[in-house]
Amino acid sequence: MKIKAKQYALALLELLKDKKEKEISGCLDKFIKALIQNNQISQIDKILDFFNIYWNKEKSEIDAEVSSVEALDKHSLKEISGYIQTKSQAQKVNLIERQDKEILGGMVLKYGDKILDNSVRARLRGVKAEMLK
């Protein structure tokens, strides 16, 4: 039976749980060797994506990304973090800010498995779709 990326991620989480920083490196080496031995190293990106989700859940953290045309001010970033914290019930929000000229205006917010697209580009696509009906 082939082990799935989610199962590897959960195994890695258990392996690293309560380990000290010095022990983690050795555990990761063993984990990578096991992936190679089982011909599963090609799954490493998926495994790490799942691991990150489980790790953040365990630590009550959530990763988030906000994209806008221009850099947002500190107050706006704090409000966005507060919104995500309330909606996700996480203790900590790891917010990454990106600038994306293609969205034309507004912002796109991604956290967990959610995407909130309040960009001008998305609104224009909606108008275009309505006009084509």
**Domain residue spans of the chain:** 5-57, 60-132
Q: What is the pLDDT of residue 133?
A: 80
Beta strands at 114-119 and 106-111: parallel, antiparallel or unpaired: antiparallel
Q: What is the pLDDT of residue 55?
A: 83
Give the count of alpha carbons within 13 A of 12, CB side only: 29
Q: What is the pLDDT of residue 68?
A: 95
Q: What is the pLDDT of residue 112?
A: 82
> Along the chain (133 residues), what's the average pLDDT of each consecutive run of 10 residues?
85 87 87 90 91 83 93 94 90 93 93 90 89 85
Q: What is the pLDDT of residue 3?
A: 81
pTM for the full model? 0.64
Sign of the four-CA dihedral 78, 109, 58, 38: negative
Strands laid side by side in the 106-111 sheet? 92-99, 61-68, 106-111, 114-119
Q: What is the pLDDT of residue 1?
A: 63
d(CA 116, CA 80): 12
Q: What is the pLDDT of residue 98?
A: 95
